[in-house]
Amino acid sequence: MSLFNSLFRDKPRGQVLTEREFSELLERQQRPLLSLALRLVGNWEDAKDLAQTAFVRLWQHRQRLEAGRDAAHYLHRVLVNLCIDHLRRRGQHEPPLAFDETLFVQADSNPQRQLEDSETQNRLWQCLNALPPKQKATLILREVEGYSVAETAEILSCSQNSVLGNLHLARKKVKEKMQPWLAAQE
């Protein structure tokens, strides 16, 4: 049972999210949403702003959410759409941002291995940043965040076939861009 469903299980239909319940939701979802936003936009300050905007929108639209509705999916959907819009606005005017995935993984004690991992991650994030926003979001939601095809489709407000198509294209493009670099590393 999701957090949001557990908050609403004893509430009559149509009762809105209280400030206390919203605070609990914010506390539990803030870190995962920041992580997702950072992976999508590659910039800490933009990620914080976008995650905050998603929570503001949840609060503003809390009357529209029905009892039992999954707020985490709502938040993810709003956040991903905000990130996609941000990436589209940013477009080609700004260079792709480097991303430090080490914020999310354990450090290796071997310095050579750390350097190799860092180079591989930087190259991978360059490839991801070159993807169209919808393909990037699809790939990150599915492969990095671990959402199912159905959940990814719900978050992106598209069909499962669209998710599968975007996923195929994103994987193909990343593979094409990574293959020469990986071959040179051998």
Contact (CB, 8 A) for 134 and 166: yes
Domain 1-97 has CATH 1.10.1740.10: yes
For the stretch 174-185, pLDDT in tens is 999 888 877 777
Dist. CA 114–CA 116, nearest whole Å? 6
Nearest to 78 by CA among 40, 126, 24: 40
Residue 65 is classified by DSSP as S
**Cα separation values, 17 from 4, 73, 79, 171, Å:** 9, 15, 19, 39
141-175 confidence digits (pLDDT tens):
999 889 999 999 999 999 999 999 999 999 999 99
pTM here is: 0.71
- 105-186 classified as CATH 1.10.10.10: yes
